């Protein structure tokens, strides 16, 4: 099953079983079913609760927060993750603050879905990974779709947190298969974190930590490193990026010769730095070398494919980083 189909099925399942779930977004209604077809079939089946909206990201996020305020659960689809900037006030100043600023917990169950990332030639305003702008906001959790986490469970978990959540969905992941780590590797789950490895997760030379959208590029790099350099890597893919549960990561990071964190946005002041800082703090004196961060170039994202490739993280970028930290 493709990741897009898993996500679509998860939304169908949620709307069917929970009568207080709403979904709002631009062009989400049938027959169009959303720019990436993730909402296909939903408006036909749940007409009162799946609403196609005007082009008003801030307004839609506010409506979702209002629904959540009444006890409903609301899902917003932002057509391109870049546009979530237009909803920033509602997310930062209203929803995230309201869970705490009235002196007692106010449950707000809302999920803002953001198709993010490049690799499709959409250019600077339709390709970015805006994660860093939402990191570190009290009352806001960040998730990313992965090929290993069933989105039914992910959506339920986000609502169970009773606070606003953003779900980043890397566009190039939509057409990939769920639960497929390739022919060389096996995978399993440790808590929230998917682990992909050759045969023994505890014997890898290098630990790679990556969000779902980078999983396939990391897997390709692992394959190359294994076949060409006999280097073994363990890939860790968390579903929840922030706040990150470090427990499944620590023992591996401590044991390995090197740790590489990957992110597809420009480097610095972002998820990579956050994870590296957490690991440095928790494992100070026990790490063999500083945690390395692989990130996109500090640049806008060009439209032309050959230029876009220069900016965004590729399989080769990850390979190079691993070789570098291992002294190869």
Partner 1 sequence: MGEVLTDEVEPGGLAPPGALTRLGDDDLSALLLIRHFELKLLELFDRGELSGTTHTCLGQEYVPVALSPLLDPADYVFSNHRGHGHYLARHRDPHGLLAEIMGREGAICAGVGGSQHLHRDRYLSTGVQGESMPVAAGVALHLKRVEPGALACVYIGDGTFGEGAVYEALNLAVLWRLPLLVVVENNGIAQSTSTERQMAGTIRGRAEAFGAGHHSFTSVDVNELRTGLAPVVDLVRRRQRPQIVEFHTHRVGPHSKGDDTRPAHVLRGVKANDWYDLYAAAHPEHFAPSDAAQRELIALIAHEVAARPLSRWEPPCA
Which residues in 84-103 contact partner 1 (CB under 8 A)? 89-90, 93-94, 98-103
Backbone angles phi, psi at 316, to 5 degrees: -65, -30
Q: Which is nearer to partner 1, 72 or 315 (CB)?
A: 72
Asked if 216 and 147 touch (Cβ cutoff 8 Å), the reply is yes
Backbone angles phi, psi at 113, to 5 degrees: -90, 130
Q: Does 107 bind partner 1 (CB under 8 A)?
A: no
Among 18, 32, 37, 53, binds partner 1 (CB under 8 A): 53
Q: Does 248 bind partner 1 (CB under 8 A)?
A: no
- End-to-end CA distance of the chain: give it in Å, rounded: 38
Distance CA 228, CA 240 (A): 32
- Smallest gap, in angstroms, from Cβ of residue 228 to partner 1? 44
- For partner 1, what does the binding mask look like between residues 116 and 145, x meaning CB under 8 A? ----------------------xx------
Among 31, 104, 183, 327, binds partner 1 (CB under 8 A): 104
Residues in a beta bridge with 24:
51, 76
- Smallest gap, in angstroms, from Cβ of residue 80 to partner 1? 18
Distance CA 187, CA 235 (A): 9
Among 2, 9, 37, 56, binds partner 1 (CB under 8 A): 56
Q: Which is nearer to partner 1, 1 or 100 (CB)?
A: 100
Q: How many Cα atoms sit within 13 Å of 229 on the Cβ side?
A: 18
- Smallest gap, in angstroms, from Cβ of residue 247 to partner 1? 15
Q: How far is CA 79 from CA 144, 168, 302, 316, in A?
A: 16, 11, 19, 30
Burial class (CB in 10 A: 0-12, 13-18, 19+), 117: buried
Q: Does 61 bind partner 1 (CB under 8 A)?
A: yes
- Smallest gap, in angstroms, from Cβ of residue 92 to partner 1? 10
Among 74, 194, 210, 296, binds partner 1 (CB under 8 A): 74
- Please choose, from the candidates 119, 112, 127, 211, the residue with its C-alpha nearest in 3D space to the C-alpha of residue 165: 112
By the criterion CB under 8 A, which residues form the site for partner 1? 22, 48, 51, 53-54, 56, 58-70, 72, 74, 89-90, 93-94, 98-106, 138-139
């Amino acid at each position: 099953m493709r990741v897009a189909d898993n996500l679509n099925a998860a939304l169908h399942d949620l709307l069917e079983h929970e009568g207080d779930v709403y979904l709002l977004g631009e062009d989400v209604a049938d027959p169009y079913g959303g720019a990436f077809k993730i909402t296909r079939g939903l408006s036909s089946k749940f007409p009162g609760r799946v609403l196609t909206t005007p082009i008003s990201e801030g307004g839609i996020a506010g409506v979702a927060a209002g629904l959540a305020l009444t006890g409903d659960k609301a899902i917003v689809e932002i057509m391109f993750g870049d546009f979530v900037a237009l909803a920033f006030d509602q997310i930062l100043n209203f929803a995230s603050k309201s869970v705490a600023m009235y002196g007692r917990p106010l449950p707000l169950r809302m999920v803002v879905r953001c198709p993010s990332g490049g690799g499709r030639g959409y250019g600077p305003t339709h390709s970015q990974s805006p994660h860093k702008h939402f990191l570190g906001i009290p009352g806001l959790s960040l998730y990313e779709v992965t090929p290993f986490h069933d989105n039914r469970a992910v959506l339920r978990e986000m609502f169970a947190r009773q606070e606003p959540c953003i779900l980043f969905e890397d566009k190039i992941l939509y057409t990939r298969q769920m639960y497929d780590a390739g022919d060389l590797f096996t995978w399993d789950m440790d808590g929230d974190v998917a682990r992909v490895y050759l045969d023994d997760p505890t014997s890898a030379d290098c630990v790679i930590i990556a969000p779902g959208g980078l999983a396939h590029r990391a897997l390709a790099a692992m394959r190359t490193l294994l076949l060409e350099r006999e280097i073994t890597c363990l890939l860790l893919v968390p579903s929840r990026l922030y706040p990150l549960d470090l427990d499944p990561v620590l023992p591996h990071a401590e044991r390995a010769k090197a740790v590489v964190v990957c992110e597809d946005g420009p480097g610095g002041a972002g998820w990579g730095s956050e994870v590296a800082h957490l690991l440095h703090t928790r494992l100070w004196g026990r790490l063999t070398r500083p945690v390395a961060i692989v990130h996109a170039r500090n640049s806008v994202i060009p439209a032309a494919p050959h230029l876009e490739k220069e900016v965004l993280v590729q399989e080769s970028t990850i390979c190079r980083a691993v070789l570098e930290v291992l002294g190869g």
